Structure 1
């Protein structure tokens, strides 16, 4: 009997299955159970053969006494499964396999029949608690994705959103994820972002894990993005492709005007394009395959700079409207009153456009990939892969002279060798991998000559004067000039500015990072009261980084007109260091009075010169290792219990130039190890029950602990001897320590403060070299609880309901108890009582008075750690998902998520002040700044609706038409009121409780994909397509200005302390804090731009493309 289609009756029965993790990160598995159809008794000895284009040769297994089988190490793709019994044969097609996933294929066979059927299995993985999704190459081609790289596609996952740096998952920040490509960890070493962009055209599948994953996975408290690239096969396959997005197909971006500046900047796409080719096939048929691809990517962005001036010619009428413009004074019959006009509807100053000019940035990169797959024997496989991406870009200065822009170039290179083997009748599996991630970046001025010129930011002046520096048009010079015969508004400053940049680019980069990684795992299957799958593994990393510590011209200058702040990198001499280069004196306030003087003085060297000069290069290193053991036990065919534990250690070393020296700020001798985080046991527990017993449902629960892998930014700064030295000079009056006013600026040129003729008013060392690590410090971790139900509603439709709870259990951050002179890397809010007693005993044994005093001082600081609030971040979410796999032309993936993310600590990104310094941010530096931080966090976006889908119309045997869509709706972000701090600068003080001022509006958008495909010949097809993004051009608010009180205003400093538990009305009574930290009687100055939109989502745009496949 020979039959096709799914009309043939068959029964899906539960398998004596093993764990869902019986495969590697880049391959999947098929498992199931074979029974006799009439009696439903298990059939032992049935030969199961799996074949597909991704396999070099078919893989097989023999069913055991329970009828069970499992075939592993299957690359992602489509397969056919053949079942051979004594007198029966059944061929089943349409079996899809994904990476890190077990596809259940349960089969009932009628003796004596020969059957061929297309019967895709259920979409539910009934042996795993993994929470996430998988995106195949069809999804990447047919859904209109704004990003052309794989990491950008990860935002389709429920509970994910773009936080401005990357994709953040389930209440975490985007710097708490882990990214892998073909088993290579490509996570950036410095901050934890995406280290290597991978073009979608080279991707076979993307797996996104956001919870519930087992002990094999670690070093992430956000999500895991596991990318598998394409591989070769026994058939030559390839494509030529390209996309082009011209600026003419983009709507004009809505401006986000700044309400206290005379320059608005709007970015519009000039063009974006990529094109390339890929090819895979056999080098030796059935033995050695290759895959290779190459694609350049080019882009250009146009920045329209609009100069404008304020007006003084209107009055507010009784109707609430503004009058017409009459620049005469009231005495002359006009409306000029010496104050800039304000629109009562928007609160913005009324302005007149003066002129426009366009500055452009450009970038180019080249993505290349190569892969070899070798079948050593039928049971042993090897793979060698490599990805290289060189890039370069040029960006102009925008709020200042165009020469203040920056050039950047760099290269990422990733390579890995992988080997796997099946032993003992496939009951044992081994896998080994070695990998190398390498990245470089070099950055400096557009004109290399300016690398030796300090960056200088002019604050609080006006464009009328500074436009004469040569960065503005003649029309802007004329219209912004104050007091001349042609000035229509002589009672006001026509073109006020908040900041204007001149000089060099600022920080210079000559950085390099390397990760050497290795991994070994062994898996064993056994039977005892059911089936067991035991897996153990170990992995290790050696991470190294070289970074440059250098400002262009040796300093960074902020010029406030009457005062100038000069910041330098400096290196302090140790007590016994007689190097003649330490010929400067750096002073800083003695906040604890240990010296008996008002200040402390250190011999120091101002770090300057070129890269390679003393103190300009920092070499850091971090070592990781982890081991895990887990067991997946099935006591019944429809019940799986997973239990495992992962152990991790992370050791951060001091920079090579510090080891063996004495810290001049703390008096401690640097050893080799700066911080060793050990004892990190991460248990993982899970249970999965299939009530239907045929693989169509699962009820599951999991609990796990996940430890953070601290990025190497902490090595550069806290463990790299970083000390910044800030001097403030009063420059408005004689004796002019920085020189007489510069005629071109109208104020003293801050460059003169580098070699001053007089002393500074204040001096301050911000000494991350003065770093202590709290004894007994423990690693940061996150706990997660996951509860869920999934049900196969129809053959191709799956419904899921999941509750996820995540909370930070402990945080690693730096704190200071002495006014930022000394930092302690600690667990804020807690310090070990046993470590306290140990230090007390050490003090009691210490006879040297100086050493005893130092230890007693440290003991007091460690005790102060407990006074800090414990960091909290809680995420609770309910997700409802509906998925229809591609069938009969239609694919749908939809989700609705209701979630809340609340606490007092956002995580590795300080969204409120824009700081990106994981584990050493300013969030916990000073205890007086902790007030009002509890509430809805920046990641809190309660409602999120996502819908992705496509439908392909068959226009005949050779033609097709595909429509794809991407719909999004998400809640806005909480709005805060922030102020400056006298030591730490802008946006460090929460004036009111977090989130009290509401949130921005709901954001929504729709994207559309249209593609026409045609088969040209056997094995040759072409497709042309167009993607339209933000179809109805809704340019919603991405961010608002939350600075209520700027650190500096027209009337001087405007720092302010938090108003604990205050309301908006209380802001009227807030008083400014002076530079010494004392409260004044002067009210703080309100930022006129407060609450206004400063960032919008991208406007409507379109791209066109083609794909020729063969």
Structure 2
């Protein structure tokens, strides 16, 4: 779907509530999105090696204990353990063996094998201090577990859990979150205390949680079992702190003062007279978390609150071009002499250029500081209740309200100063019961996730006034609007008295930054709600080994509510370089012969291939009334069954099958209206995804027979869960009407504009388009989007606490859902690009043959042509191959370390749910497959392709005895650059849509490295209290490397792809007419910023903090 309508979507995705704040006993083992882990092992006789039956094992922590008795083969398993350290005690006759500090992770099985001397002559108690292996011998999953020690001692660059996810091998940031294993960041699923908190609209992380509230974070990047679904990226499972029988807590604070943040390196932007650069002024948070018993052994609580505040100083400077220097024979520039060449100076009518960089030379005229501020809070509440150890429940609450005040940078403050406020809220209730000597477990969970976002203009009138963008004009003219200072107005005004450079235009907008006037534009007042329920049953049986059979079902009811309108009902694009104004508005259209009185306007347009315009009945959608508010709904449900079969204690076979369905529904106001394409009512369900069968297979072998090794293989299929952005656009009757007016149709010149205003445009204008007039069709027989995964790996505990791993991972998209158009954007068809089933074709042909009504027959024949056109599109491809080397040293003897090296290749023609090349965030309805003429040159190295990625985290603690503990930590990253492109605009769709050259042939950005360090000092106080102060330095060497470059070879010119071309061929690229799309004889205009740096990594930043714990 066209990117011309995504400004609101990008704002919602990037400036959601999470960014406002961020600039356990209830789940069975191995449960998807669980909050607990388990311990299992085998007890044997020391002298004979025989299995010992009847050994009693008691697992104890600060909360209640759990007990198990070994089976005939000596095996045991204890489930439902909250993350943390445990004492495991073995009782056999008069012998007692205690294993201390046995760590259990969320959704992990810790192997604890034990040998007992059955010939002991006297009663004895043996205390063993060594730790069990850090290898889960029952799971093929890949990923990482992050605990409190990691977030405390490693310099994590942010304060919420998202900032830790980059520690996982195969992960990388992509601007909207963290992407894993070749996927985009919108393909993950996120859970907090068992509640699905994934963003409904786009698939972002949803709910931020501050690290101080978190017990453990599990990041699963591949190889997961049938319990997991709706993800083609990773599954992130966050477990917050839970109370136990010991009262514990922490008071904490941190601050990043602007005085200790290095100045951002200026990134020149060619062709603009307004520069902006942001520097952190301060970022601070403070709070507490407290957990403990209400009634010991029965009822526990956890409570936390952490307010936060941030402010960024944005320096906005204005500048003008110069015409007073020339390059000397030495290669240097002369001194400035603004006299003309004829008068003995250096002014020649051409703006001066720096010979070293190629950038136009500017001189600053004025500057002002603007402040972008935000405040918010993180909140946690939790209650745990145990009737008995076998029957336990939990209530949990997480919330993150916030408010941000943002400033207009390119235009009048009243058209861009706004306040964005919102909150995420998550509530869950869970219950777990065990029966039949703990061999049977039942778990039930209900949850509610809510996300709200509201944008309010700082000036009330901007909320009802049309937005207008003055593009490719002149800052000197715009200065008459009164916002720019006197020096800017004087220095930018051409040919005025005192104009120092009269032979050139002083302050032109050459790159289309524009100058915003009028109202705010998009209206944002969004509400998202997810109501979820899950039920799972686990049964452990003995049959040719040990089986853990689990079956479950879950349901999600997802609902959104949002405005779909502009302030004033319309927005104007005022192109001052070609003296035209585009008016853009949402409309609802009706069949030509309609007699429905609500369609009180006429929207003339010329369909593709037509010679005469059609007088289309329509209705303008204003800020209020029908169609201005969209109510969307998607219902998901799934069921699964899996068996983890331990054929032998060191050989496990996992097999599972998952079934999913997803029903995406039309907006409520549309359901009784007539679809103009089919002449039938829209109805309730817009698209139903069924038959999503997802098998999973895994095999593991431990050659040490002690849990210290595993060789494993995995194959699985994973289906996408389509985010609800498609509901609010494709299934809500989104039709966009654009009219093109020449200036002489728009009234008088407006002072300060340099042109008329869109408010003065009258009549029907010239060319006009109704984009999406025929609505969005769903191809009959459409099939769901899925990904297949293959993994082969080895893990081995080389020495106590030291684990090495190597794994090969392959992921490939098997099918994609995207919208396509075969009639020049008049009709969008949601389909599987490149394929349309023969059965669906035969069914439609049968309907045509049986149809007697000529009009209806013609409609069906049109649909047949549309659907057959789907096959002409290239089949989407995305293939990821990776080899991962990992090393983990659990904390012992004062040292912790984990690291990885990933060599990977990601190739194809479809990046995924984010269109990185044009910045569009429209999952499954991006512009990537809209037009057949844009298919060329898209195959190659995808934006996610960064072949080499090195990660190393670690810390060391110096025991200063009575003087305390000194901790030093470090975080190292080194990664390849990303592929570069040569892009041009499309005459209808706008910038960065046409791949002039094959993807990735221009080269890569540079290899980047970064180092962060941490120093902390802790000292015991009275009792069990401890005070720690610490400092973090991020980007120690202040290497503000390249985070992005401009791939837009041409911004103003539309051009067709040069199929298979090279860089040398770009000089032959020709412009397309922006009204008709026809190729002209004129060469395209090269963007002066092409290849230049557009974004840099954050500068050196210092953070101080303190925590008092007890």
**TM-score normalised by the chain length of structure 2:** 0.95
Q: What is the aligned partner in structure 2 of residue 702 from structure 1?
A: 714
Superposition map of 1:955-974 within 5 A: 955-957=960-962, 959-974=964-979
Q: Check the 8 A contact 2:480/2:751 in 1, yes or no.
A: no
Q: What is the aligned partner in structure 1 of residue 163 from structure 2?
A: 152
Q: What is the aligned partner in structure 2 of residue 1064 from structure 1?
A: 1063
- CA shift, 1:444, in A, is 2.9
Q: What is the aligned partner in structure 2 of residue 537 from structure 1?
A: 552
For 1:636 and 1:319, how far apart are their aligned partners in 2? 81
- Unmatched tracts of structure 2, length 5 or more: 1-27
Q: Secondary structure at the match of 2:806?
A: strand
For 1:152 and 1:652, how far apart are their aligned partners in 2? 32
Q: What is the aligned partner in structure 2 of residue 226 from structure 1?
A: 237
For 1:502 and 1:973, how far apart are their aligned partners in 2? 36
Q: What is the aligned partner in structure 2 of residue 27 from structure 1?
A: 36
Q: Secondary structure at the match of 1:505?
A: coil
Q: Check the 8 A contact 2:1055/2:1070 in 1, yes or no.
A: yes
Q: What is the aligned partner in structure 2 of residue 784 from structure 1?
A: 789
Q: What is the aligned partner in structure 2 of residue 589 from structure 1?
A: 606
- CA shift, 1:600, in A, is 2.6
- CA shift, 1:576, in A, is 8.0
- CA shift, 1:22, in A, is 6.4
Superposition map of 1:151-300 within 5 A: 151-300=162-311
Residues 1:864 and 2:869 are matched in the alignment: yes
- CA shift, 1:278, in A, is 1.1
For 2:826 and 2:538, how far apart are their aligned partners in 1? 52
Match of 2:910 among 905, 928, 951: 905
Q: Secondary structure at the match of 1:743?
A: coil
Q: Check the 8 A contact 1:972/1:1002 in 2, yes or no.
A: yes
Q: Secondary structure at the match of 2:901?
A: strand
Q: Check the 8 A contact 2:465/2:518 in 1, yes or no.
A: yes
Q: What is the aligned partner in structure 1 of residue 103 from structure 2?
A: 96
Q: What is the aligned partner in structure 2 of residue 6 from structure 1?
A: none
Superposition map of 1:549-568 within 5 A: 549-561=564-576, 562-568=579-585
Q: What is the aligned partner in structure 2 of residue 748 from structure 1?
A: 756
Runs of 4+ in 1 over 4 A off after TM superposition: 574-579
- CA shift, 1:967, in A, is 0.7
Residues 1:473 and 2:485 are matched in the alignment: yes
Q: What is the aligned partner in structure 1 of residue 16 from structure 2?
A: none
- CA shift, 1:418, in A, is 0.5
Q: Check the 8 A contact 2:223/2:791 in 1, yes or no.
A: yes
Match of 2:457 among 418, 423, 445: 445
- CA shift, 1:870, in A, is 0.4
Q: Check the 8 A contact 1:830/1:865 in 2, yes or no.
A: yes
Q: Check the 8 A contact 2:739/2:764 in 1, yes or no.
A: no
Match of 2:800 among 790, 795, 798: 795
- CA shift, 1:605, in A, is 1.8
Deviations 1:857-883 (A, max 9, x none): 100110110000000011111111111
Deviations 1:141-165 (A, max 9, x none): 1111111001221111111111011
Q: Secondary structure at the match of 2:674?
A: coil
For 1:588 and 1:791, how far apart are their aligned partners in 2? 68
Q: Secondary structure at the match of 1:844?
A: helix
CA RMSD of aligned residues (A): 1.4
- CA shift, 1:449, in A, is 2.1
For 1:229 and 1:458, how far apart are their aligned partners in 2? 49
Superposition map of 1:372-771 within 5 A: 372-403=383-414, 404-497=416-509, 498=512, 499-561=514-576, 562-573=579-590, 578=595, 580-593=597-610, 598-610=612-624, 613-731=625-743, 736-753=744-761, 756=762, 758-767=763-772, 770-771=775-776
Which range moves more in the overlay, 821-830 or 498-507?
A: 498-507
For 1:987 and 1:668, how far apart are their aligned partners in 2? 37
Q: Check the 8 A contact 1:666/1:771 in 2, yes or no.
A: no
Residues 1:1081 and 2:1081 are matched in the alignment: yes
For 1:22 and 1:452, how far apart are their aligned partners in 2? 50
CA distance 1:1031–1:768, shift in 2 (3 Å): farther
Residues 1:357 and 2:373 are matched in the alignment: no
CA distance 1:144–1:714, shift in 2 (3 Å): same
Deviations 1:795-833 (A, max 9, x none): 011011111100100000000000000000000000001
For 1:361 and 1:866, how far apart are their aligned partners in 2? 49
For 1:505 and 1:416, how far apart are their aligned partners in 2? 37
Q: What is the aligned partner in structure 1 of residue 21 from structure 2?
A: none
Residues 1:1016 and 2:1021 are matched in the alignment: yes
- Unmatched tracts of structure 1, length 5 or more: 1-18, 1049-1053
Deviations 1:23-73 (A, max 9, x none): 8710000000101111111111000000012x3x21000001111100000
- CA shift, 1:981, in A, is 0.7
Q: Secondary structure at the match of 1:874?
A: strand
For 1:1001 and 1:1067, how far apart are their aligned partners in 2? 23
For 1:609 and 1:619, how far apart are their aligned partners in 2? 15
Q: Check the 8 A contact 1:454/1:504 in 2, yes or no.
A: yes
Which range moves more in the overlay, 544-553 or 659-668?
A: 659-668
Deviations 1:402-460 (A, max 9, x none): 23222111121110001111111111111110001111111131212211111111111
Deviations 1:236-270 (A, max 9, x none): 11111111111111000011121010111101111
Q: What is the aligned partner in structure 2 of residue 78 from structure 1?
A: 85
Q: What is the aligned partner in structure 2 of residue 935 from structure 1?
A: 940
Q: Secondary structure at the match of 1:957?
A: helix
- CA shift, 1:952, in A, is 1.1
For 1:609 and 1:167, how far apart are their aligned partners in 2? 36
- CA shift, 1:669, in A, is 2.4
Q: Secondary structure at the match of 2:670?
A: coil
Q: What is the aligned partner in structure 2 of residue 60 from structure 1?
A: 67
For 1:336 and 1:1063, how far apart are their aligned partners in 2? 38
Match of 1:1000 among 978, 999, 1005: 1005
For 1:957 and 1:60, how far apart are their aligned partners in 2? 39
Q: Check the 8 A contact 2:32/2:227 in 1, yes or no.
A: no
Deviations 1:77-136 (A, max 9, x none): 000100000121101101000110000000001132420111110111111101000000
Q: Check the 8 A contact 1:22/1:29 in 2, yes or no.
A: no
Q: What is the aligned partner in structure 2 of residue 5 from structure 1?
A: none
For 2:339 and 2:677, how far apart are their aligned partners in 1? 62
- CA shift, 1:468, in A, is 2.2
Q: What is the aligned partner in structure 2 of residue 1055 from structure 1?
A: 1054
CA distance 1:998–1:665, shift in 2 (3 Å): same
Which range moves more in the overlay, 574-583 or 379-388?
A: 574-583
**TM-score normalised by the chain length of structure 1:** 0.95
Q: Check the 8 A contact 1:23/1:72 in 2, yes or no.
A: no
For 1:23 and 1:71, how far apart are their aligned partners in 2? 17
- CA shift, 1:574, in A, is 5.5
Q: What is the aligned partner in structure 2 of residue 44 from structure 1?
A: 53
Q: What is the aligned partner in structure 2 of residue 1108 from structure 1?
A: 1108
Q: What is the aligned partner in structure 1 of residue 819 from structure 2?
A: 814
Residues 1:143 and 2:154 are matched in the alignment: yes
Q: Check the 8 A contact 1:313/1:327 in 2, yes or no.
A: yes
- CA shift, 1:588, in A, is 2.2
For 1:997 and 1:377, how far apart are their aligned partners in 2? 65
Deviations 1:1030-1052 (A, max 9, x none): 11100011111111111x3xxxx
- CA shift, 1:721, in A, is 0.8
Q: Secondary structure at the match of 1:276?
A: strand
Q: Secondary structure at the match of 1:94?
A: strand
For 2:623 and 2:49, how far apart are their aligned partners in 1? 81
For 1:833 and 1:1037, how far apart are their aligned partners in 2? 49
Q: Secondary structure at the match of 2:668?
A: coil
For 1:420 and 1:803, how far apart are their aligned partners in 2? 37
Match of 1:989 among 994, 997, 1003: 994
